[in-house]
Structure 1
Amino acid sequence: MPNTASAKKRLRQNETRRLRNRAARSTVRTSIRKVREAVKAGNGDDAQTAYRVAQKQLDQAAAKNLIHRNAAARTKARLNKLVKTVTAA
């Protein structure tokens, strides 16, 4: 347990940030899952729409250092590849 006032404040800040980061990461994961589900269902229009949302959320998460920027780029590339398989078919 923190003893000083500054350590107590830091603990409160860390808890708030942890919850905010968890919520943001969860949102990103949900958007990625929606893209994959749309692709699996074979719905090209929904997949493209979901991909645009996921792309934006991944970029925002990378900008806030929630995930590494290369991890965001890699995920976007893989999702885009999936979406193209549905739209081309």
Structure 2
Amino acid sequence: MPNIKSAIKRVKTNASANAQNSHTKSTMRTAVKKAENASLNNEENVKELLQSAIKQVDKAASKGLIHKNTAARKKAQLMKKA
């Protein structure tokens, strides 16, 4: 544990940022998997799940969690499968 006050603050902010980033990325991955599975199984709610997944991918890209080209690639793959 650091002794300097600013270093202590950085540890706290890094921990909270890491938790938020992990949650956002996990939510994105889950949404993508749900959309892929729904399109493979020809479920009725494919459209809603696809919109949700694209929204999560865009959110992760805007926050800098994934690169914008990666987001574009994921969205293109989702649209192709649907």
Tell me, yes or no, whether TM beats 0.5: yes
Alignment-derived partner of residue 8 in structure 1:
8
Q: Aligned partners of 1:82, 1:48: CA distance in 2, in Å?
A: 12
Q: Name the structure 1 match of 2:24.
A: 24
What's 1:82 paired with? 81
Specify which structure has the higher proportion of helix: 1
Normalised by the length of structure 1, the TM-score is 0.87
Aligned partner of residue 45 in structure 2, secondary structure: helix
Matched residue count = 82
Structure 2 alignment gaps of length 5 or more = none
The residue aligned with 2:72 is 73
* Runs of 5+ unmatched residues, structure 1: 84-89
* Runs of 4+, deviation exceeding 6 Å: none
Instruction: Supply the distance in 2 between the matched residues of 1:40 and 1:74 (Cα, whole angstroms).
Output: 19
Taking structure 2 as the reference length, the TM-score comes to: 0.94
C-alpha distance in structure 2 between counterparts of 1:54 and 1:64, whole Å: 15
Q: CA RMSD in A?
A: 0.9
Structure 2 distance, partners of 1:40, 1:77, is 16
